[in-house]
Structure formats: structure tokens, C-alpha cells
Structure 1
């Protein structure tokens, strides 16, 4: 029987304009492993809030056969990378297949469907090239999220962008707006131009969100290679130059997306300022607006803690926090053979292992680090977790360095498997959620939002969303940041010293000497993070400030 699709829930008239949302990764729920990190967590929360608000939005992604990777351990506890086939019986085989061209050759794409009621999300279609009609190379396009091979990356971009556009030719539901969540699906913009032959018509349909000032998130690729890969569809290089106003030999994917979109947004106020500085001199650009990222409180928040908070039962609130710590410490004991104490202040450093996030800043001054972990009056427990990019030798080396160091200390642990389930446990079990990126490098960062929803106190450099949230000493602690114009070595030295001073002089004494004040700060953090950083606010903003503003 042919797959029939109409939007499966009654749409709220305020959000009736049909929107197709394109993202390379989605963190929907632990069983669906098609995400790597923050971009996926953000996209998952967006789809959950679109469902809660009954928005007329449909997600498009890729069904990664091996996911991102499974983080496992070697015999000596260091990490290893495992690519294991994933099987999902809860996805619906739509039977829809279509042809796209990659490297000039026809490739078959197939669509799978995640219904809203499965995980309470907006409808999501996931594309795959792993079908019998394709040769092995074509099949591998949908095997690994963020494959290290450039050709495989570009092929995945084509599948998401052009394949996603073609999918809607087989459905009765048609989008009026196409939202690029990062530039991965950029081939969609060229496909839309092919259809309409008018940049103005493309701008009426396309919006774009940039998530990072980092070079890795703003790729540049040789124009000839992109044309050879069929990245531009049927367009010539001259046509692409004409519509993007990019005459350089390499195409900047972000700049091309910004020039073809009707509206572009950054994902925090600070990030948007950075984007304007990066791209402000470029002609042919529309103004860049700010829509700060957010996380779905319905999914992430500890609702029992919020009930206790709203009832003014602070003793119960603290008991629930201790219970959440004990749940996390069971994982610590299981993975590391260490028995942590729920009454000891626990610092969690958990995020993707990228250089600018400085996962090892606590170790910058070794003597200061030893002072902190050996202190008997103000004892601490430290947990690190995160998944480095699987071919990033430096990041994996740093992860393994932390593993080896932590072996010597009963109050330090490094956990593997930083996915949705472990992320929830870490946020529940953290007293302090530590965030120390180099200033201006973290576009938004969202893990601290969901940490605050679980009674964790943010101790952070004032970057990304933190600059809009954190009131020093009221709902968290600001680590004074060094001047970003200084040499990197000096920035790291100054920031490390500020981190040690913040922990030793402010955070630890408050936790142990003024429990009432700590509870007040924790409570204020839980209150302040909602509703401003609940993704329902964000999902509303995308409709009101982007989707309904063009066309």
C-alpha cells in the first residue's frame, strides 16, 4: 500500500505555515542514535517543542546506519571507537524511493518515517542510500555521521538537501519554508534555484541558522570539486558564482547559505554579534537576527524537583538532588570502580571534546589542581565525559590523558557513552556544571540549560547563552574571562587562575558553609532557566521572527 502523509496532528492556527526543517543530526531519544552532539540536541528539542505547540513543521534528516559511533573502552580503560549497525523497528518504511545524482551518477534514496506519537516530536523523515539498488560506495553515504572523507561528507549534504527536497514531491504535504539548521543541506538552495530561476524566489522560501564561528562549521570547498560531486545539481559554476556572488576558487558554505536565505540567525546574542563582525562587510547580505538556542524542559527537567521548588519544600528539593546524584554515582561505580559520596560537591565537565572547550583547563596548573582534589575541608568529586570526533587524534589523546590521570585519584572519573541517557544522569548528578570555552568561541552552548533544569549550578565563562542568563552569585557563578585579543597561552593561563579562584574562594565555601544560600542559588537557577531557555520559546520565535516574515 502506498505511503500516505498528511500532517498527523491538528495544527495550531498560529503556526499553520508549513515548514520543512533540515538537520544532519537529531537527538530525539536514546534509542535513536543519529546524533553527535549539541547540534543534534538542539534539533531534537526543536522537534519536541514543535510537537507540543502543534506547529506545522516536518523534520528531514539522515538515517545513519552506524550512527555517529559507539564510545567503548580498550583493555586499559582508554577509549575506542566502535561502528555498530543500528536497527530500528519503530521506524516506518514509507516505500518512497527517489533518484538523486552524486558525482554525476544516479543514486537511489529511500525515506523512513518517525511518527509523532513515538517520541512526542514533530513528524520526522530520515533518508537512506543503504538500499539494494545502490553499489557499495553509494550505500556508504548514509553509514556514518560526519564521515572523515570529504567526498562522503559532500555526498551526505546532497542526500539531505536535494534528497529532502525530492521527498516532498512524493507527499501531498508541501512546505512553503525550508529551514537549514546549519549549512549541511546547502544543495537544497541550488535545487530551489533550479526550480524557480530567481534568487528572490529562493529567498522567499529559505531561512538559515548558523551555529558556530569555528572553521569546521563554516567549511570552504573547491568549486570544481563541488561541481564534479553534483553539489550544485544541474547548475554550472558560473551560475553558482552569479547567484552567490562568490568569485573565489573555493565556496564558503556559510556565506552561500546566507546569501540565498531570506533571513539568517545566530544562536545567541553574543554569537550574532560575532557573526555580524565576521560577515558584516559582505555585500548582498540581509541583517542577521538572534534567536538564542534552548532545550526542551518537558524532556530534560527533573519535574519532581520543580514540584518541590514550587511548593517551597526545599528539604525535599535537596533530597531529590541527592537521589539524582546517587543514580549517577552508580554509573561511576560501574564504569570506574569508584564509590562517590552524594554529600560531596560534584563538578561535571561534560561536552564534546573540542580544543576551544578546554576540557582539561582544571589541570592547567597542576599544583592548584592537586590542592582542589586533595582538600579535606572542601572535598570535591570531578567527572569528565564527552565524545571526541572519532578521527580527532588530539581530542582522543586528551580524553585518554584524563582517563590515565583519573586512575590515580578516587574522586576523579572519566565516563564513556556521553549520549542522551548519560547526559540526563550527569545533569541530575552535578552540583556544578563547569563550562570554560575560550571567550567568543562558544556560539551558544545548551548543556548548561538542561543542567540548570536538574538543579545543577552553572559555573561558567560568560560566553554564548550564559551571557543572557547568569547573574553572578545569584543563579550561578561567572568566571571572569581574559581578553580574547591576548595570545591563546595567556588567555588559558588567566582563565585557569580565575577558575581556581572562583572554585576555591566562592563555590566550595558556599556549598559547605552556607547550605541555605546554596539552595537559594540552586532554586533561583531552576526558576530563571524557565521559560526563557525552554525550547517552546525558541520554536515560537522561529515562526514569529523567521518563517512568517518571508514569502
Structure 2
């Protein structure tokens, strides 16, 4: 049996995601959702899970961000050489979009785990000469174009992806929709279940046969974040028969075809991405049962080289067994501090190369790097600028490093970036330095989460579904100061893994709590009690790094979502019959 045939025979879970961060040189992701997908696949490979993944090629990437001296963002495309970086597959499939045949091909990239297990990712591509010019560009831009472009893309991912798996001789028993972008795979499965009979003949038993094979992860805690399309768009792009079927099966909401409702209707298991997000999702969709599996990050990907070396000396199997990071509590504090200093110096060098600004390693450094959406409140730290300047002067200095892109169409988000950069200029002095690094991406994110002293997170509750940047920081011994939302509700132990900004009805109230923590606790601790600060770094790794990783997350998916029939009293026993396939 060939290696490919063996992989296909074992690939019983099919994972669909609109974006997947596979490699820093491949701009196939925009941010958190794609990075999570990539980390998920890396941990699935580490665990030898029989899984195959589908996404789109995104030939022109998301966008490269440029910021001028005034903080005005401009964007340029990120074309990459797909032909030289991926392997072309022979089969093609054809779907009908807006009445036109659209041919799809696939390119393969293998993710190889620590044990050598391979997980194939297939990048779907419509850039073929036989396609209409309007359709050749459907797999060019991640989250680009208008609503019509998005619905066509989602048809390529969902319907085209399901058919491509069949053409490649995969026979998944579980289809995992990572967010609602992939929900149209359900109509392809429904059509296959009917063996050529019209969709109007689908009854509840047919739907149930599809439901038994589908699981759905929702990431969006606000209704506006769920993809919705008009009945006209659905009729025109997907066709009247599919549109009528979705309407008949309750997948329209407020007169719109709602991708989240499609996924909810056709999934036997649904989960949010943190305990709190599960609660928010159940309140949004009370007619559905929604569980929670808290996100994680791939430990070996997001741990800095210096910290990895420390782990290797004391816990040599930590890559295979992330829970062993719990034993970081036995690493000498001086080793963790020295490793962090190396990471901080690497960050400082990167800042100098990118901006010309020379930061100082002895100065307390805060990191804030997120998508520049308004609810993330990147400017909350500047609610009382004079107070920030004063605390920097009184406590020994303060450095703040910002980074983050605003979506090209998000003018309020772009305004937030301009505001931070304006304030950075106004407040700059010998005690306070603020820099904003353009083009936030994978490698910069790793430098930031590994090299700062404190990770700041200030979303407006309850809009943070999970968040993962603070988890990456925790793996590197960097504690968080954060609003109690998303994952931080579960990871927060006051003064042990970081600090919580108190809930308040106003931005000003929460900013006051932020300032109080910095003035009264964090800065005095860092500058006057380094021994205790080192203990906090170590406990952050041991308590949060050992839990908030995608290895633990994947094990929960296996037991709760993919193969609940294999549950045992101990997860290791439950995994054996699955991983032995």
C-alpha cells in the first residue's frame, strides 16, 4: 500500500476551515481563526489523529499592511508561489455556481507531527483556464470582495471540498466545520445521501443521516459576525432547489440564509471555544445544545527557542506530552528568567530593525497585538495619558509595543490604529516609549509573545470568544493583565498567572482598574521584587502553558465531538482504538 493510500484510509476526520496558517511563507490566514486551525492540525499530527483538512488556496493572500508616519493604513496583496510550495493533485471536480460550471483542483501540503504522522491539507483552487474569469479569482483573496464573492467562495470550500475528498478517495466518517464558512458541505452530503433524488425529497431521516457525521465549532459571539446572505443571492448563486431546501429546513433567519444556522441544523455536536463563549452561544441560539471546548495553541510552535531549550533540559518529552509542562514548576527560576531575557533581546533587535527605535532590556515592556477591531479597545491604556506618563516616571520606565491589522473595510478599526500612533508621538519621553509595529503576522507574533514582560488584553465583554495570544505568552512565562473574558476566565489566578482587570459598566472604570494594577502591583513587583516576578513567570508556564494548548484541545474533540462512543474513564484508553486505526 502506498503512503498516500495509507493516509487516505486512516483519514476518518475531515476538517474544513476557510483559513489555515500552515507556514510563515504562505499567507493563507488572516489572524486568530487561521492560526488556531494550523495549530489544531499540528497537534492532530503530533497525536497521530487520522485527519485530512480542506481550505482555499488564497493565491493573493490576505494583505500586507503598511502604516505611514501618521498611522494611516494601506494594503497590498501578498501573492505567493503556490506551484513551487505545494504539490498538485490530479483529480478535479466541478460544481455549479450562479448557473455556471466551476472546475476546482487541489494542491497538497503535508503537516508532519513529532512522531512522523502526516496530515494532508488540500488547498482548493479555481484558477483554471476553463473557468469563467469571474470564477478563476474565487480562490484569490481571503475575506475579499462583496457578499456574492463570499458566497461563491463558501460554495467552493463546502460543496467543492466535500466532492474533492470523494475524488481523492477519502471516506471520512466525521466532517468538522471550523466556523460557518464551511456550512455548505452539508448540502453536498445531503445530495449524496439522496442518491440522485431531488432535494425536495429529503426528510428528517435524511437530514439525521447527515447530522450524524457533522460537528461544528462556532467562534463568533456577536450576531453580526455570522455570514448571512439574501434569498436573492442564494437563489442566484446556489440555485432555487438548494435555497428552498435550506428555507424548508430552518436555515433562514430574519429572511436571510444564515451559515451558522445551516451548521447548527446539520451538526450532531456543536461547541463554542471557551467556557464563557459556550454560555454566550447558548444564549444566542437557545434552541440548540452547544458545548464548549476551550481553544489552545501548539506548544512547540509558539515557545521561543530559548524557552524551548530550557524545556528540553528538564522535560525532554514535552513536545509529545504537553501536560508535562506542569513540571516546569521544578525548573530553576533563574533559568526561566535567563531564557526570557534572550527572547526579549531578540524582540528588541527586531523592533530596532523595523522602526529604528532602540528599546532597553531592563525596562518593563507591555505587549498588545491583536486585530484592530474596535471592541478590542487597543486605546484603553491611554484613557488617562498623563497618568500613564506619571507611572512610567515614578516606577522606573515603561515600554509598550503594539501591533495589529485592521480589515481593509474597517474604518473605525483603522482610526484606532491612528489614535495609538498619534498618542505614541505625543507621550514619548525618556521614561515612556510606545511603538506600533506594522504588518502583524506569524513570526512577529511569536517574537512579541516570547519577548515582552506582560501581555495586555482589553476586549469589551462579552465579545472575546476565546483569544489565544495570551496563551502563547503564557507558554513563554509571560503573565497577562486582561479583561475577564474568553479564555482568561479559566486561566486567571490573581498574582499567580497574571491579573484581572475588574468589570465595570464604563471604559473609564475598567481603565481605572488597569492603571491600579500597573501602579500598585505590577510595576512595583517587577522593579522591586524580581524573585517573586520569576515565580510568577514559572507558575504561568506550569499552570497555563500545560493546559491551554491544542494537544489538550484535540483530545477533548476526540472524546466529545469526533468519537464520543469511545469514551472511557481515562482519555488515554479512549484514544487507543482511534489512533490505532
Residues 233-274 of structure 1 deviation map (CA, whole Å, 9 limit, x = unaligned): 673433222223646421222122111111100111110011
Q: 409, 427, 437: which is aligned to 2:459? A: 437
**Correspondence 1:202 to 2:210:** yes
* Contact 1:70 1:84 survives alignment (8 Å): yes
Deviation of 1:414 after TM superposition, in Å, equals 0.3
Counterpart of 2:405? Answer: 387
Point out the more displaced range, 143-152 or 297-306.
297-306
| 1:71-90 aligned within 5 A | 71-74=65-68, 78-88=72-82, 89-90=84-85
Deviation of 1:513 after TM superposition, in Å, equals 1.0
Deviation of 1:343 after TM superposition, in Å, equals 1.0
Deviation of 1:438 after TM superposition, in Å, equals 1.0
Counterpart of 2:448? Answer: 426
- Tell me how far apart the structure 1 counterparts of residues 522 and 86 of structure 2 sit (CA, whole Å): 46
Counterpart of 2:364? Answer: 345
Q: 38, 45, 48: which is aligned to 2:32? A: 38
**Correspondence 1:293 to 2:300:** no
The count of aligned residue pairs is 530
- Tell me how far apart the structure 1 counterparts of residues 438 and 223 of structure 2 sit (CA, whole Å): 27
- Tell me how far apart the structure 2 counterparts of residues 17 and 184 of structure 1 sit (CA, whole Å): 22
Counterpart of 1:529? Answer: 544
| Inter-CA distance 493–7: structure 2 relative to 1 (3 Å threshold) | farther
* Contact 2:177 2:183 survives alignment (8 Å): yes
Q: 62, 69, 79: which is aligned to 1:68? A: 62
**Correspondence 1:494 to 2:519:** no
Q: 15, 23, 27: which is aligned to 1:29? A: 23
Unaligned runs of 5+ in 2: 194-201, 315-327, 567-581
**Correspondence 1:405 to 2:423:** yes
Point out the more displaced range, 463-472 or 303-312.
303-312
Deviation of 1:193 after TM superposition, in Å, equals 1.6
* Contact 1:194 1:234 survives alignment (8 Å): no
- Tell me how far apart the structure 2 counterparts of residues 367 and 346 of structure 1 sit (CA, whole Å): 18
- Tell me how far apart the structure 1 counterparts of residues 109 and 171 of structure 2 sit (CA, whole Å): 18
Counterpart of 1:180? Answer: 177
- Tell me how far apart the structure 2 counterparts of residues 49 and 4 of structure 1 sit (CA, whole Å): 20
| Inter-CA distance 507–167: structure 2 relative to 1 (3 Å threshold) | same
Deviation of 1:407 after TM superposition, in Å, equals 3.5
- Tell me how far apart the structure 2 counterparts of residues 423 and 236 of structure 1 sit (CA, whole Å): 42
- Determine helix, strand or coil for the equivalent of 2:138: helix
TM superposition score normalised by structure 2: 0.87
Deviation of 1:26 after TM superposition, in Å, equals 0.9
Counterpart of 1:254? Answer: 260
Counterpart of 1:512? Answer: 527
TM superposition score normalised by structure 1: 0.91
| Inter-CA distance 247–114: structure 2 relative to 1 (3 Å threshold) | closer
- Tell me how far apart the structure 2 counterparts of residues 245 and 143 of structure 1 sit (CA, whole Å): 28
- Determine helix, strand or coil for the equivalent of 1:441: coil
- Tell me how far apart the structure 2 counterparts of residues 35 and 245 of structure 1 sit (CA, whole Å): 28
Residues 143-191 of structure 1 deviation map (CA, whole Å, 9 limit, x = unaligned): 1100141111111111100110010121222111110000001111112
Point out the more displaced range, 69-78 or 415-424.
69-78
Deviation of 1:8 after TM superposition, in Å, equals 3.5
Residues 265-320 of structure 1 deviation map (CA, whole Å, 9 limit, x = unaligned): 0111110011111111x3xx3x2111110111121123124347566332232121
Deviation of 1:366 after TM superposition, in Å, equals 2.5
* Contact 2:272 2:293 survives alignment (8 Å): yes
